[in-house]
Structure 1
Amino acid sequence: MNAKEVIARRVALEFRDGDVVNLGFGIPNYSADFIPEGVNVILQAENGALRFGETPTEENYNPNLANSGGAPITLLPGAATFDIQTSFAIIRGGHVDATVLGALEVSQDASIANWLIPGKFAPGMGGAMDLLVGAKRVIAAIQHVDKNGNSKVLKECSLPLSAKGVVSRVITELAVFDFQDGKYLLREVAPGVTVEEVLEKTEGDVIVADDVTTMPI
């Protein structure tokens, strides 16, 4: 399993029966392929769909159905489609139980930066600003280090923030973190990964929970 699949599989275990969950670009949308059997989660695409499923195959691909990132989706029985205004009314009205968003950086005060690298073109923050304050629970799905091996799980974000103090849980290919007393709280480590390795690759301050477990992926 590569890093993205590890994160996507672990993200899918956060889905709760009956919840409305919004998935962001990239790894979050990938997690739709790994919904546990028997979990009836209602996935929302912010461009205007409720109850979509896994990535289509050549046999069931429909070019008119796509998620917010433009990637093809399948609609499940009972699905609804609507305009983007209605979609954002759902988000801003507090009807989204959880959102899973990718991130460039997270910080130990539960802040997230996920939209802009100075000097690089960005079309805008998009729906993240609404989701980060409108969803009841925010899960950040992020690769633990960048291509140069530098931690993206930081004491303080260096990039422009998308929102401050809103993240509930951070899931990387190495670990699962919650937050406690202004620090990361290490809850899980990936199979084959040690607590020491996680601490070495995490720039932020970490409290190690007494009952750290292995990711059930």
Structure 2
Amino acid sequence: MNKHITPAEAAALIPDGAIVSVSSSSGLGCPDLMLKAISERFETTGHPQDITTLHPIAAGDMSGIKGVDYIAKKGLLKKIIGGSYPSGPSSSEPPLIWQMISGNEIPAYNIPSGVLFDMHREAAAKRPGVITKIGLDTFVDPSRHGCAMNEAAKAEAVVEKITFAGDEYLYFPAIVPQVAIIRATTADERGNLTYEHEGAYLGGLDQALAARNNGGIVIAQVKRITKEGSLKPHDVRVPGMLVDYIIVDPDQKQTTQTVYDPAISGEIFRPLDSFRVPEFNIQKVIARRVAQELEAGSCVNLGFGISANVPRILLEEGLHGAVTWVIEQGAVGGVPLLDFAFGCASNADAYMPSPYQFTYFQGAGFDASLLSFLEIGRDGSVNVSKLSFRPHVTAGAGGFVDITARAKKIVFSGMFNAGAKLAIEAGRLVIEKDGKLKKLVNDVEHVTFSGRRAVEQGQDITYVTERAVMKLTPEGIVLTEIAPGVDLQAHILDQAEFPLIVSDNLKTMDAALFSEAPLHLTLPTKAPRTLRGATHG
């Protein structure tokens, strides 16, 4: 059987009403040509109609790779379920998918990325679904939003709360895809897929299994086709027995704004001095303070935002390699990249399939996570997933809920309030004018991380801003450090909607953080691992 067909022929295979699973993480691994072909077929023939799409991470990112925006058309798309969605700056027109979501044209759901991968695995094994504590007391929980992103989604539940073995869990019924659209670098004539130019494996194997085991089809977009038998078996990540059709896009980008960089795919290692270190500014001050929370020898997850610069802080301090970075797309080690290449790493030690990276996160196998915040609530909860006045600027939660649900230690970073006019002078923070929008609020708009569960589980939670460091305790949020030059009452206590507890041992943040000179940072060494009793639930 000749598996190589045109994109138009592949698009014609998708029936009306199909459930279609798409492998992608923003621009990374996005089968953009295939999604474009589906759009073009719909514009020409009016088919396929009323499809439901599953996106465990995201598809497209509004900067050269349209992804899901190709199929964001009324009549084509009936429902969408994603780990996250394309976002855009507040100054730009919202992505088409956001226009459909905010206009209630289709039901839209945000299921944590790791859970959505788990649902594929359960569908592949023909098990009923996922029972998990991931998402309890967050927007995922039916007692809050039940993953619904708009009013249209409230009519049909995708998750329910159950009691199992005397304990409380969330249950996500498995969703069976009829079509899986995945991407790789090379296919041989039998459909065996290798990923040598990709920045991650993502979850293509799990998505292919879910479709194929249930009588569906798998379409793979690749850069090239090679002769049968020419691929090394150990390099094949998705075997040809799971692939029905192949389309070729010789121009597919490695990730957004990157045609091809062999360091992203681990084929070469970049010299360390080729990585740009952050310029000295307020964000760098915060990243430096976050770096002080680390231990040498630890494995640390990294999220988008200010904390993404922390690896560059260690690089600048001569501490590269002291910490192993792990990111949800699957890279382990190396130097995680910034901006539109976020989700990739150069000089990685290894690439884990994303579903297994999420298993690592959900079970708290790692040591710490460095993440951002949009809002912090009185109870320590954090919102990163929704702001009503800027809906398309937030992309949804992605793997945030999977990562934070049981993490031993989390350091959240961000600005204390929004819109402040700040300066740094002589090792001191100067607040020339405070922002009008408070970020420490009585109740966050969307609970992406539950402070209540963190206290119950004994998680170590720190919040780092440009002017203050705070800790979550059973009594509330405790202010532990303030920046030099800051007025405690006017610049901190009066800028929060709720009372902060001022520590009896309140310290001043290290003045070296506010100087351009290197910190001469040293990290304590993580204690060696010892065997401890396994826990479940």
Structure 2 alignment gaps of length 5 or more: 1-279, 420-434, 455-459, 514-537
3-state secondary structure, aligned to 1:130: helix
5 Å matches for 1:31-42? Answer: 31-35=310-314, 36-38=317-319, 40-42=322-324
**Whose helix proportion is higher, 1 or 2?**
2
Judged with a 3 Å threshold, the aligned counterparts in structure 2 of structure 1 residues 211 and 153 are, in CA distance, closer, same or farther, namely same
- Asked whether 1:117 is paired with 2:404, we answer no
Q: Which residue does 1:138 correspond to in 2?
A: 410
Shift of 1:83: 1.6
In structure 1, distance between residues paired with 2:337 and 2:355:
25
Q: What secondary structure sits across from 1:178 in the alignment? A: strand
Which letter maps to 1:183? Answer: G
Identify the range of structure 1 (197-206 vs 107-116) with the bigger mean alpha-carbon deviation: 197-206
Q: Deviation of residue 15 (structure 1)?
A: 1.1
- Alignment of 1:174 onto 2:467: yes
Q: How many angstroms apart in 2 are the aligned matches of 1:151 and 1:21? A: 29
Aligned twin of 2:493: 199
Structure-2 separation of matches of 1:116 and 1:74: 31
* Higher relative contact order, structure no. (Cα contacts within 8 Å, ≥ 6 residues apart): 1
Structure showing greater radius of gyration is: 2
Residue 126 of structure 1 and its aligned partner are, at CA, apart by 0.3
Pick aligned residue for 2:304 from 22, 25, 28? 25
SS across alignment from 2:397: coil
The answer to whether the Cα contact below 8 Å between 1:46 and 1:67 also exists between their aligned partners in 2 is: no
Residue number in structure 2 paired with 1:60: none
Shift of 1:113: 0.5
User: Relative to 1, partners in 2 of residues 1:213 and 1:19: Cα closer, same or farther, differing over 3 Å?
Assistant: same
Contact map agreement 2:384 2:396 (CA 8 A) in 1 = no
Tell whether 2:410 aligns with 1:162.
no
The alignment's TM-score, normalised by the length of structure 1, stands at 0.83
How many angstroms apart in 2 are the aligned matches of 1:161 and 1:54? 27
Shift of the alpha carbon at 1:141?
A: 0.6
| TM-score normalised by L of structure 2 | 0.35
Matches within 5 A, 1:82-121: 82-118=352-388, 120-121=391-392
Contact 2:329 2:353 in 1 (8 A): yes
Q: What are the superposed Cα offsets for residues 162-215 of structure 1, whole Å, 9 maximum, x if unpaired?
A: 021137111111100012344221111123223232222222211111221122
1:88 offset after TM fit, Å?
0.9
Aligned identity (percent) is: 28
Equivalents in 2 of 1:204, 1:150: separation in Å?
A: 14
**Over aligned residue pairs, what C-alpha RMSD do you find?**
2.3
Distance 1:182 1:156 in 2: 17
Instruction: Count matched residues.
Output: 203
CA contact (8 A) 1:141 1:170 kept: yes
Q: Which amino acid in 1 is paired with 2:450?
A: K
Deviation at 1:55, TM superposition (A): 5.6
**Does the alignment pair 1:11 with 2:297?**
no
